[in-house]
Amino acid sequence: MPFFKDLRRRSKTSFKTEKSSSNGSPNGGPERTQSSSTLNSVYGPTGGPGATTPPAMLQSNMSSPNLQVSRTNGSTPPVPPRPSPIPQHQRYSGLGSSNGSLKTMLATSPYAPRLLSVSESTWVHQKILLVYGQIGDPAQQPMDGTLTVCHHQDSFPATSWPVCDSHFKALIHLTPGPNRIRLDFTSPKLASNNSQAHSSWTNLFYLPLNAAPPLQLVILLGKDSPGTFDTVPERQQREGNGLDTAIRKFKMAAYLWQAFTGEQMYRNRFGRRCFRFEEEWQRGTLSCRDADTAQMRNEAKIHIVRTEKTVQELRDLDLAQQYDKATKKGELFSIALDAVRDHFKPAPGQKQYVSVLLLDAHWDTNARTITGHAALGGGAGDIQLAIFGSHALYSYPACIEEVAPVFSDCTRTDTNFVANDCNESGSTWEAANIGIGAHLHETGHLFGCPHQESGVMLRDYVRLNRSFTCREPYSTRTKSPGLKLCLPKDECAWHRLDCLRFRYHPCFRLPTDAPYASDESVHVWTVDNGQAIATAATGVAFIEVFGEGDDICHSFIEFGESNGNGSGGLPKQVNLAEPDLRGRLPDDKRNKRLKLVLHSAAQGSHTVEDFGQLISKTSLLKLPNGQTGFRGGKLGFSQMEGSQKEEVILESALLQTKLLVQVKVYHGFAVDGIEFVYEDFTSQLFGKRGGKPGGSEFSLDTRRGEIIMGFYVRAGLWIDGIEILTSLGRRSGVFGNPLGGSGHTLIPPRGYSIAGISGSCGPWLDGFSLIITR
């Protein structure tokens, strides 16, 4: 027992070394040596405002401490032995801990892999994470080799990835909750010794976004389709071309979309956000070894949907969009839309986001065209839809292990069996780029993205391979050798405007995002001094600026937070000055027509076709008291039979002695008219006294000085419903149809008040706008 007594007498500090107390990492790991200049050289300099794809906001402390390598006096330390396996009861003990006991136990090598694109203990929201990193110092001793990713508790088979000139890219499979990942590096240039290894560990946390609407994945077939797709004989013999193979390949392509988009959102400083898939418990296919072990996993569900058309009817449409001879380009989209709507049967107000693979697309070797194929994306009411053919499906990877080999496969395309799409798919890796990337392009349309000046929404996806590999093979498209080293600056990208749309899209919502109001509208008000003011209940997110003749946006203004977390920081009101807006255009367009498209945080938009016309004298009117009034933007189309312009200037806005005490709204399934009743029993009517006899009354609390602050209007072709908003925060409730059209909150900008109402009336109100004054 004397030994234990003596042990208890020793203080805790006697166990600490001098080095650990003075030079150690605050997290208990080895001292960091990676400089910020090295990271900047990898990701490039910081992009300026409006840059297409700003680099990741990475600093030297972004990589986890346990991934760093210590050096002493510039000498290379001896390679430590491979860390012993973690006992089962300790596997979670080191996750997120600050004492560093487990990290200190795991010694590192100068060639231990370092992750540069994701930091230690990061929370992510996608099953397959794309990462980028380095081995050692590429500037001093670049080397090739192999990176092996060992997943958490062997929950997924280890995967291998090529290391090129000390750079690597890899996909990491994550399970919900904490994930402790080991990265091993091997190279013929390094001594092979089983007792030595070049390994590092990192901790990641995966939180699925089950509260966001999913992107549904559908394979569409003709009613008599055998469920096969075009391929070459060698591949048909090796992997087959049936429906099971199609499901595996389409699923893997979708996870590549997700991994690529998640990394792009992070580089654009919008956090680790991405869309999700509907998943189900099924036989796993993301690893090629799952088939041998019949491993069950929770993976993306591929819906199999059949149309009422036969395969021959689909192919006879000759719908290949990229060919001029196509005569019915939109018909296949309508067929797919009907089939998808019948399959999902969305409830009223339930929007579905669906990306469709047309399995019966076929390369017609005689006509030299792809039949039964169309590349289209967009929206139609309750369905947001993208469609694309299966003519390049043969080239897709079917599992994670095939991703790097596919994007390095130079096998020439045999046009006796498969298509060389747009003459840009001359080899297997290029066909995979076109098929996976062009389908992602159409999915971008599904999410509301138009064509852009660069990025995926142009044709940047011909470089999609560079996001997943560090070396590019010979290109038949450019007739030139590929890049020897593909760095992040060389990769395919989403345009900044696409990422801005994704940031506020419901499919990309994070748990930390505050819920948005149902009102998605943006309004523009003409005000004094030749200016305008934009207002949005959910905040103005960004503004696109177009010069005359521009179909694609080349200049934009964005607002709000830079990190993508939360919804605060967006201005509810933005001043629009003509000199500033025109200064963003090229010199030859500054004096021509200026067009603006304004976007709210709730995905609403408002287009000003001619900003000069908006702020001209046509929007002004002289009020009876000599003040200047300004007409706001009009809701409704004013196109009903017998529609006549109407305008009412409120007497209570002109005379202090005139007290507005009540508002009557005449309505049925739409709004027929609005009557303003004063204390002296006089009234002013805008529209007609139709619908409900006597109308619906809403009285103001004049003793407390209550006045009308604005209106919430439901409008489409006409005015479906209207709600009165007061200065005391009261709401009247919607009179008319509360679900008709779309919602718009009309409240004058700060410093202005309601002077009257302008619009039009046919059988009922079909135009409505406010007249405001300072």
Segment 253-261 mean pLDDT: 98
pTM flag (> 0.85): no
The domain containing residue 34 runs over which residues?
Answer: 2-69+100-206
Asked whether residue 533 falls in the same domain as residue 624, the answer is no
- pLDDT at 303 exceeding the cut of 90: yes
**pLDDT for the residue numbered 31:** 37
Asked whether residue 536 falls in the same domain as residue 651, the answer is no
- 724: domain CATH number? 2.100.10.30
Domain-located, residue 441: yes
Residue type, 630: F
Segment 201-221 mean pLDDT: 94
pLDDT per position as a tens digit, 526-569: 998 888 999 998 899 999 999 999 999 999 999 976 434 444 57
C-alpha distances (whole Å) from 403 to each of 71, 256, 261, 425 are 35, 9, 16, 17
Asked whether residue 596 falls in the same domain as residue 670, the answer is no
Residue where one domain finishes, among candidates 173, 206, 239: 206
Hey, which residues are catalytic here?
Answer: 442
Domain-located, residue 375: yes
Q: How many domains does the chain have?
A: 4
**pLDDT for the residue numbered 81:** 42
Q: How many CB atoms lie within 10 A of CB 428?
A: 25
Residue where one domain finishes, among candidates 614, 644, 677: 614
pLDDT per position as a tens digit, 378-391: 987 889 999 999 99
**pLDDT for the residue numbered 194:** 52
Task: Give percent above pLDDT 90 in the chain.
Answer: 69
Domain-located, residue 83: no
Higher pLDDT among residues 319 and 99, named by residue: 319
Asked whether residue 324 falls in the same domain as residue 239, the answer is yes
456 phi and psi angles, rounded to 5 deg = -55, -35
Domain-located, residue 75: no
Angle at 372 between CA 369 and CA 373, to 5 degrees: 75
Domain-located, residue 91: no
**pLDDT for the residue numbered 662:** 95
- 124: domain CATH number? 2.60.40.10
Domain-located, residue 736: yes
Question: Confidence band (pLDDT; 50, 70, 90) for 78?
Answer: very low
C-alpha 360/C-alpha 340 separation (Å) is 16
Asked whether residue 162 falls in the same domain as residue 234, the answer is no
Higher pLDDT among residues 102 and 453, named by residue: 453
Domain-located, residue 94: no
Asked whether residue 226 falls in the same domain as residue 282, the answer is yes
**pLDDT for the residue numbered 70:** 36
**pLDDT for the residue numbered 75:** 37
- 526: domain CATH number? 2.60.40
Asked whether residue 368 falls in the same domain as residue 501, the answer is yes
**pLDDT for the residue numbered 233:** 95
Asked whether residue 498 falls in the same domain as residue 522, the answer is no
Q: Helix 428-446 crosses helix 243-267 at what angle (to 10 degrees)?
A: 70
C-alpha 503/C-alpha 403 separation (Å) is 28
Segment 570-597 mean pLDDT: 93
Question: Confidence band (pLDDT; 50, 70, 90) for 321?
Answer: very low
Residue where one domain finishes, among candidates 614, 630, 656: 614
Asked whether residue 255 falls in the same domain as residue 298, the answer is yes
- pLDDT at 98 exceeding the cut of 70: no
Segment 68-94 mean pLDDT: 38
pLDDT per position as a tens digit, 290-301: 988 889 999 999
**pLDDT for the residue numbered 108:** 66
**pLDDT for the residue numbered 511:** 85
Asked whether residue 221 falls in the same domain as residue 175, the answer is no
Environment class of 84 (CB within 10 Å of its CB; exposed 0-12, middle 13-18, buried 19+): exposed
pLDDT per position as a tens digit, 27-61: 333 333 333 333 343 344 333 333 333 433 333 33
- pLDDT at 478 exceeding the cut of 70: yes
Asked whether residue 605 falls in the same domain as residue 642, the answer is no
Question: Confidence band (pLDDT; 50, 70, 90) for 675?
Answer: very high
pLDDT per position as a tens digit, 322-378: 444 455 567 899 999 999 999 999 988 889 999 999 999 999 998 889 999 999 999
* CB-based contacts of 176, cutoff 8 Å, min separation 6: 206, 207, 208
Domain-located, residue 80: no
556 phi and psi angles, rounded to 5 deg = -155, 160
Question: To the nearest whole number, what is the mean pLDDT of the chain?
Answer: 84
Asked whether residue 303 falls in the same domain as residue 372, the answer is yes
